Amino acid sequence: MTYYISMANEKGGVAKTTSTISLGAALVESGSKVLLVDLDPQSNMTLALGIDPEKNTHSLINALLENNEVNSIIRQTGVTGLHIAPANHELGFAERFLPTRPGYETLIRKGLRPLKLDYDFVLFDCPPFLGAVTLCALTASDLLLIPTQAEYFSIYAIRNMNSLIRRVRSQSNPQLMYRILLTMYDRRNRIHRTLYEQLSNTFGKGVLSTVIETDTKLRESPIVGMPIIYHSPKSRAAIQYRLLAQEIKQYAQETIEQPA
């Protein structure tokens, strides 16, 4: 059974794309087969995995709107078992075209049904705004991961994410769950520690146990086109993303095993 996860936050610069790639690679390392879906017209995940978005003619949204086979756009990455549906800059037009289609919110969910037996996890890297593409991804997802820094503006943006979660639950996906992932954390920073404590007190179990701390090795991995797990396997970030993968796998298993 495929488990679908969206990585989204209205606030940019919170390690959303880095976390999508790193979590996907860590899940693969632990034995899962993973598809990464780049839904951001900036195409950073596509570029970080060695694919030139300028030469990529079809994204997932292109394929679905044109009634093409999803498998036709999926590419192998440099990591066995880790595949990507790459993005291109034309994705930005989807925000205008998608809402003109009746029931567009379910486009991704219906379009990915043929892939259910091929992957254990599908991870959506959403754009840093809460538009039609993000709504489609959340409608297709079992879990929303909200990466956030221990910074005021990043945490404040979660309020808007909560509004979107309520909308999705009421209109298109009542089963959607969410978890908050703290990223770029500096334990030496008193403000970071204080905001993390406030975040935990406010959201309780909604905050993941795993915390991703700052690590310069993370900045190097996109340059070499490899996830941190493989670029620097003994780095702090690699270890923490492995812990995140285990936490997500356990949560997914518990969710799947819950009686209907």
pLDDT in tens, 42-68: 999 999 998 998 888 789 988 888 888
Q: Locate tokens 């991961």: which residue?
A: 145
pTM score: 0.94
Residue 151, judged by CB atoms within 10 A of its CB (0-12, 13-18, 19+), counts as: middle
Supply the pLDDT for residue 28. Answer: 97
| CB-CB contact of 229 with 29 (8 Å) | yes
Q: What pLDDT, in 10s, does the model give residues 178-216?
A: 999 999 999 888 889 988 898 888 889 999 999 999 888
Instruction: Could you list the beta-strand ranges (E) of the chain.
Output: 3-7, 34-38, 75-76, 82-85, 121-125, 143-149, 177-185, 207-213
Which residues make beta-bridge pairs with 211? Answer: 182
Type of residue found at 33 = K
pLDDT lower than 50: segments of the chain: 260
How far, in Å, CA of 60 to CA of 66, rounded?
10
Q: Are 195 and 152 in contact (CB under 8 A)?
A: yes
> What is the model's pLDDT at position 75?
93
Q: Which domains does the chain have, with CATH numbers?
A: 3-257 (3.40.50.300)
Q: Give the phi and the psi of residue 177 in degrees, each rounded to 5.
A: -115, 165
Q: What is the pLDDT of residue 260?
A: 46
Q: Name which of 240, 229, 247 is nearest 79 in CA terms.
A: 229
